[in-house]
Amino acid sequence: MRNRATAIRIVLIVWIVASIAGDVALAFGPIPPGQASDLASSESLTILLLAEIAWPVFAGVLAALFFTLVVNRLAPPTAVVSPEALRGNTRVQTAWIAATLVIVLSLAVYGTVALAIDQPGAGISTVSAALPMPTSTDQPLEVQVIAQQWWFTYRYPTYGGIETSQLVLPVNQKIQFHITSLDVTHSFWFYALGVKGDAVPLNDNVVTATPTQTGTYRVQCSELCGLWHGNMSDNTAMVVSPSDFATWIQQQTTLDAPIMKFLVPYSHTYEPSPTIYGT
């Protein structure tokens, strides 16, 4: 009996130490997807929070499993248990269900609130006109992402609807991504910014994020879209200073000038190329 009490204490202490150590490590560790945008920061925070809650529970269940499997064997219980207690205990069951319910409900409430505050997007826009040129960094700059097999192109409606093959964004400027597709379902994933939205033909999927760190990043397709899905990525997406962005836009406008008259007018969705079977 004495061994058993000691064992219980040791398991408890190990669990508490492990929980605290794990949670502290998590709090100081890098949490993906990082801090390169407000959206990414909020996703990192959510992931961190969930991990902070999940780790002690996870460790607790493992500790309980370990305890029941190993300690009982080394130091067998001696107390006599009634047949009823062997078959269930309403109070324990109620408490367990109540505890899991509380955790789950608070997670759901937290998730809903986070979703409501951040409006992190992936919702279909019903607006047909493009946004006006933002007058401040709080107003969103509209950038369109057009997915097709097997690359992305981008259009900047406030800069004459020019079309580019590289994604360049000004830092600290709120960006409204409008994601659409010309053929099958794709998904636009800008990992560092925490932006992910399915590209569906004749749909305008909107995600909003403000990049906060300059740099060169990777964008890729995250929905299986056929043969070269694995190669539908680009390592040259950039977040740059506003002045560099202005220079870049200027260059692209010059480059695009000869082809502008052949380009389809800017729109939130485009008539898909024929994907009927047989092509």
Partner 1 sequence: MSTRPTLARRLNEWGLLLGVIGAVIGFIIGFAIGTIAIGNSFNTDHSLGSDPGILLGYALSALGFLAGLGFLNYPIGRLLGAKRPSEEDNAYMHGEAGGLRRYFRMTTDHKVIGLQYLVMILAFLFIGGLGAMFIRTELLTPSPTIANAQSYLTLVGLHSTLMIFMASAAIIGPFGNYFVPIMIGTRNMAFPRLEALTFWLLPPAGLILLSTVFLGGFTTGWTGYAPLADQNVLGMDAYLMGFALIGLSIGLSGLNMIATILTKRAPGMPLSRMPIFVWSVLVTSFLGALASPALIAAVLMEMFSRTYQTTFFVPAGGGSPYLWENLFWFFGHPEVYIFVIPAFGLIMEMLPVFTRKPLWGYRVGVGGMVGVGVLSFVVWQHHLFVSGLAPSLRPFYMFSTEMISVPTGIIYLVSLGTLWRARTRFSTPMLFIFAFFFNFLIGGFTGVFLSDVPSDFSLHASYFVQAHFHYTIMGAEVFALMGAIVYYLPKMTGRTMDIKLLRYQFWAVFLTFNGTFLSLIAVGILGMPRRVISYAAYLQPLNDSASIFALALGLSMALFLGILIWEVVIKQRVAAANPWESLGVEWQVPTPVPTFNFDRVPVSWSLPYDYDTGKPAADFGPVAPALTGA
Q: Looking only at residues 34 through 63 of this chain, which bind partner 1 when binding is defined by CB under 8 A? A: 39-40, 42-43, 46-47, 50-51, 54, 57-58, 61-62
* Secondary element (H or E) of residue 37: none
> What is the C-alpha separation between 138 and 184, in angstroms, rounded?
33
Query: Contact at 8 Å (CB) between 124 and 198?
Result: no
**CA torsion through residues 121, 127, 128, 129, sign:** negative
C-beta of 73 vs 261, nearer to partner 1: 73
Residues 130-169 that bind partner 1 (CB under 8 A): none
Which amino acid type is present at position 157? P
Using the minimum distance from each CB to partner 1, give the nearer residue, 162 or 209: 209
Nearer to partner 1, 231 or 241 (CB): 231
> 179 or 249: whose CB is closer to partner 1?
179
User: In this chain, which of 9, 13, 27, 89 binds partner 1, going by CB under 8 A?
Assistant: 89
Where would I find the H helices in 67-165?
A: 72-74, 83-86, 90-118
Quick check: 179 and 267 in contact, CB under 8 A?
no
Q: In DSSP terms, which residues pair with 195 in a beta bridge?
A: 190
| Interacting residue with partner 1 among 183, 208, 239, 249 (CB under 8 A) | 183
Candidates 2, 28, 86, 261: give the one binding partner 1 (CB under 8 A).
86
| CB under 8 A, 24+ apart: contacts of 66-74 | 66/11, 67/7, 67/8, 67/11, 71/4, 71/7, 71/8, 71/11, 74/3, 74/7
Contact region with partner 1 (CB under 8 A), list: 128-136, 214-222, 240-248, 254-262? 214-222
Question: Binders of partner 1 among 256-275, rule CB under 8 A?
Answer: 271-272, 274-275
Nearer residue to partner 1 within complex by CB, 68 or 251:
68
Answer yes or no whether residue 27 interacts with partner 1 by CB under 8 A. no
151 neighbors 242 (Cβ within 8 angstroms): no
Residue 32 is a binding residue for partner 1 (CB under 8 A): yes
Residue 127 beta carbon to partner 1: minimum distance, rounded to whole angstroms: 14
Asked if 29 interacts with partner 1 (CB under 8 A), we say no
- Least distance to partner 1 from the beta carbon of 26, Å? 13
Nearer to partner 1 among residue 13 and residue 57 (C-beta): 57
Phi, psi of 52 (to 5 degrees): -60, -40
Task: Please give the single-letter amino acid code of residue 167.
Answer: L
- Which of 1, 2, 28, 79 lies at the binding interface for partner 1 (CB under 8 A)? 79
